[in-house]
Amino acid sequence: MFSMNSFPRRVLLRTIALVVLLWQCCRLTDCQIRSALGHYQLVPASFGNSTAASEGVSDDFGSTVASAALLEEGKDGNYKSSAANDRPTDLGIQTVLEPKHGDDSPPLLCQKPLEDRYSHLRSFASKKPRFFFALDLYQAAGILPQLTASILETVKFLGPEYCYLSIVEGNSTDGTSDLLQALHADAKTLGLTYSLVRSDLDPKNESNDRIEVLAQLRNLALAPLLQDPSDFDSEETTIVFLNDISPCANDILELIHQRRVQGADMACPMDYSDDGLFYDIWIARSMTGDIFFNIPPSGLWKYAKNLLWDDPERKRRLEAHTPFQVFACWNGMAAIGAKAFTQKGIRFRRNREGECYMGEPTLLAKDFWKEGLGKILVVPSVWVAYSHRASVKVKLEKGHVEENLRDGGKEKGMQEMVEWDERPPSLIKCPMPSYSDPQWVPPYEGYVDIMILASERT
Ligand X SMILES: *[C@@H]1O[C@H](CO)[C@@H](O)[C@H](O)[C@H]1NC(C)=O
What residue ranges bind ligand X (CB under 6 A)? 46, 49, 85, 171, 198, 200, 202, 205, 207-208
Q: Report the residue number, 28 or 225, with the smaller CB distance to ligand X.
A: 28
Q: How far is the CB of 207 from ligand X (least distance, A)?
A: 4
State the minimum distance, in angstroms, from the CB of residue 94 to ligand X: 14
User: Whole-number minimum distance, CB 281 to ligand X, in Å?
Assistant: 28
Q: Determine how β-strand 131-137 pairs with β-strand 193-198.
A: unpaired
How many angstroms separate the Cα of 203 from the Cα of each of 136, 195, 212, 329?
Answer: 11, 21, 8, 21
DSSP code string of 364-398: HHHHHHHTT---EEEEEEEEEESSHHHHHHHHHHH
**What's the closest the beta carbon of residue 271 comes to ligand X, in angstroms?**
29
Cβ 329 to ligand X shortest distance, Å: 31
The contacts of residue 306 (CB under 8 Å, 6+ apart) are: 293, 294
> Shortest approach of ligand X to residue 84 CB, angstroms?
8
Q: What is the smallest separation between the CB atom of 447 and ligand X, expressed in angstroms?
A: 28
Closest to ligand X by CB, 68 or 320: 68
Q: Give the nearest distance from C-beta 18 to ligand X in angstroms.
A: 16
Q: Under a CB-based contact definition with an 8 Å cutoff, are residues 416 and 321 in contact?
A: no
Identity of the residue, 200 or 411, whose beta carbon is nearer to ligand X in the bound complex: 200
Would you say 35 or 82 has its CB closer to ligand X?
82
Instruction: Pick the closer one to ligand X by CB: 87 or 198.
Output: 198
Pairing of strands 193-198, 163-169: parallel
Given phi > 0 = left and psi -120 to 50 = alpha, else beta, which region is 408? beta
CB of 17 or CB of 31, closer to ligand X: 31
Nearer to ligand X, 180 or 336 (CB): 180
Nearest alpha carbon to residue 269 among 362, 322, 334: 334
Using DSSP, state whether 316 is helix, strand or coil: helix
Least distance (Å) between residue 320 CB and ligand X:
47
What residues pair up with 169 in beta bridges, in sequence order?
137, 198
Amino acid at 248: C
Residue 174 CA to residue 62 CA, distance in Å, equals 10
Beta carbon nearer to ligand X, 207 or 458 = 207
Find the shortest distance in angstroms from Cβ 283 to ligand X: 25
- Residue closer to ligand X, measured from CB, 86 or 397: 86
Q: Which of 187, 113, 197, 116 is nearest to 152 (CA)?
A: 187
Q: How many CA atoms lie within 13 A of 427 on its CB side?
A: 7
Q: Alpha-carbon distance 262 to 416, whole Å?
A: 9
State which residue, 205 or 306, has the beta carbon closest to ligand X: 205
Say if residues 78 and 112 touch (Cβ distance below 8 Å).
yes
Rounded Cα distance between 291 and 285, Å, is 5
Distances (CA, A) of 168 to 135, 187, 196: 6, 16, 6
Beta carbons of 183 and 175 less than 8 angstroms apart: no
User: What is the rounded CA–CA span in Å between residue 13 and residue 215?
Assistant: 24
